[in-house]
Amino acid sequence: MGAGGSAHERKAAHVKADRTEFVTSPAVVLIAAGIAWAGSAGGAVAGGVPVFALVVGLTFLIQFVAFVPAYLTQSERFYDLTGSLTYISMASLAAALSTPLDARSILLVALVIVWAGRLGTFLVRRVRRAGKDGRFDDIKPSFVRFLNVWTIQALWITLTAGAAFAAIGSTNRVALDALAAVGLCIWLVGFAVEVAADLQKSRFRADPANTGRFIRTGLWSWSRHPNYFGEIALWVGVALIALPALRGWQLVTLISPAFVYLLLTRVSGVPLLEKRADETWGGQDDYEDYKSRTSVLVPLPPRAR
């Protein structure tokens, strides 16, 4: 009787959570609609439709279409791949519909494609090796929660690449300048840090001797989350490159790096991983020492004991 009651309570909790999250997708779509309107101001038009708005709409459509087989098969294996391909295809589409392109637009398209291709390949390989992505275990059975995940991915793409998409489609063409050079340097640093951090952690996990241990070598000896620092930095670089081509309401798309920073450091990235690490290694002397001496995000020399 107790077990049945417990099962009933868990089911009731899931139903309540579903009801609460029922408003998430509509809210996300409304936010994206606002961004689509702002980013379209002063932008290219194709067939009477603003290119930026078209890109945002197709971004959501792709996620919704991909969600259907994912839910029916209860699989998250193509989640990251879909996201990466959306970045690549939408950057390419924005460029194709905004001709003639200038050097700034071409540079932005190239940076988005290189980043998305590299990260997507890395994430897909990681899921393939693990067999699944544990983040989705409790989410997949719920239609509403799983749909929300795909809807939020569409918003993530819209907000992170929004400045790039808006600049690519902008009718305000500005030659490459010093700000573009600064932005490119920041992007290169961020990309290099993210790639190096991911490779170091992958190699660490691939070594059976490190089973059950936490990484504290390489970039991870200077930052507990160097990959997230790299991601934030590269989107700052993209925003700086895009800035001179934006005007009026298009400037709203510059929210990109702030959004990435807040999401990764306050919502999903760092908080969740820190909690998981504390639950796994909390109380161990070596972990507590590492945590007390190592920067959370920005790579810095370890603090003295």
- 285-298 pLDDT, tens per residue? 999 999 999 999 99
- Is residue 304, in this structure, part of any structural domain at all? no
Measured CA to CA in angstroms, residue 296 lies from 72, 111, 288, 299 at distances of 39, 27, 13, 8
Q: How many domains does one find in the chain? A: 1
Handedness of CA 119, 121, 126, 127 (dihedral sign): positive
Domain residue limits at 278: 2-293
- Is residue 263, in this structure, part of any structural domain at all? yes
Give mean pLDDT, residues 50-71. 96
pLDDT at 44 over 50: yes
- Is residue 299, in this structure, part of any structural domain at all? no
Tokens of 45: 């038009």
**To 10 degrees, what angle do helices 226-242 and 162-169 make?**
20
Cβ count near 75 (within 10 Å): 14
- Is residue 100, in this structure, part of any structural domain at all? yes
The pTM assigned to this predicted structure is: 0.88
Judged by average pLDDT, the poorest of 23-27, 250-254, 292-296 is 23-27
Give mean pLDDT, residues 137-166. 91
pLDDT at 4 over 60: no
Task: Supply the pLDDT for residue 9.
Answer: 56
Residues in the chain: 305
- Is residue 178, in this structure, part of any structural domain at all? yes
Spatial neighbors of 165 by CB under 8 A, at least 6 apart, are 39, 52, 55, 56, 90, 91, 94, 253
Task: Supply the pLDDT for residue 24.
Answer: 82
- Is residue 113, in this structure, part of any structural domain at all? yes
Handedness of CA 93, 256, 56, 272 (dihedral sign): positive
- Is residue 58, in this structure, part of any structural domain at all? yes
252 CB-side CA count, 13 A: 17
Give mean pLDDT, residues 50-59. 97
Judged by average pLDDT, the poorest of 45-54, 98-107, 264-273 is 264-273
- 85-130 pLDDT, tens per residue? 999 999 999 999 998 999 999 999 999 999 999 988 888 887 777 6
- Is residue 303, in this structure, part of any structural domain at all? no
